[in-house]
């Protein structure tokens, strides 16, 4: 299985390690040709406004949007979740997203003053809690009817899917626990 990791900016190499721990081959994705032959793609955390700009200037946005429409399996974490969301609140006016999952997220929705926190979250499909690292995380403010919520923190969805599109508002690649990458790869 070949899994691309969007490598324009952000925490992409830690995702490659987690995917390798699950037995997947990985490829850094920077231009449209890098999408050829991928079975799945991870969009990492980082800065969604910068990634949006680089996706446009690299010419990658439109070919990637087409692959996602054609049912490419995608896992977006933190900024990656913002890029996949239908609606983004507190984004920059020129910020683009793929409208790949029917959720509304607010950038930095957990507050700027508390930039970062960690929490053990219950993921019903795992047999013990997952230690989640939230860094200037987006907050889910609305979910559409076709969304499956896979985990919540304080009543707010933090891990969800719609078909083959998975999103997490935290950074599963920053803890040495590949279970969520593995959960995603099971669906590929």
Task: Return the active site residues.
Answer: 78, 171, 173
CA 30/CA 69 separation, integer angstroms: 19
Q: Is 132 in the site for ligand GLN (CB under 6 A)?
A: no
Please report, as residue ranges, which positions from 105 to 124 form the binding site for ligand GLN (by CB under 6 A): 107-108
Binding piece for ligand GLN, criterion CB under 6 A, among 29-37, 66-74, 78-86, 174-182:
78-86
Contact 132, 108 (CB under 8 A): no
Q: Is 104 in the site for ligand GLN (CB under 6 A)?
A: no
Q: How big, in percent rounded to 5, are the helix, strand and coil portions of the chain?
A: 25, 35, 40
Binding piece for ligand GLN, criterion CB under 6 A, among 19-27, 40-48, 124-132, 154-162:
40-48
- What does the block give as tokens for 133? 């690292």
Q: Is 79 in the site for ligand GLN (CB under 6 A)?
A: yes
Q: Is 136 in the site for ligand GLN (CB under 6 A)?
A: yes
Q: DSSP letter at 32?
A: G
Residue 83 C-beta: closest distance to ligand GLN, Å: 8
- What does the block give as tokens for 54? 């680089």
């Amino acid at each position: 299985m070949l899994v691309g990791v969007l490598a324009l900016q952000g925490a992409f190499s830690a995702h490659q390690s987690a995917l390798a721990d699950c037995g997947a081959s990985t490829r850094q994705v920077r231009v449209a040709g890098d999408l050829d032959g991928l079975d799945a793609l991870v969009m990492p955390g980082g800065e969604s406004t910068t990634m949006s700009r680089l996706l446009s200037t690299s010419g990658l946005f439109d070919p990637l949007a087409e692959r996602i429409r054609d049912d490419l399996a995608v896992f977006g974490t933190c900024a990656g979740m913002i890029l996949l969301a239908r609606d983004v609140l507190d984004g920059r006016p020129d910020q683009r997203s793929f409208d790949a999952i029917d959720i509304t997220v607010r950038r930095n929705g957990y507050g700027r003053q508390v930039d970062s926190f960690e929490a053990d979250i219950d993921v019903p499909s795992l047999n013990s809690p997952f230690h989640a690292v939230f860094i200037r995380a987006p907050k889910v403010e609305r979910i559409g009817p076709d969304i499956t919520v896979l985990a919540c923190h304080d009543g707010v969805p933090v891990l969800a899917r719609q078909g083959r599109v998975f999103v997490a508002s935290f950074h599963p690649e920053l803890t040495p626990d590949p279970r969520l990458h593995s959960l995603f790869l099971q669906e590929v």
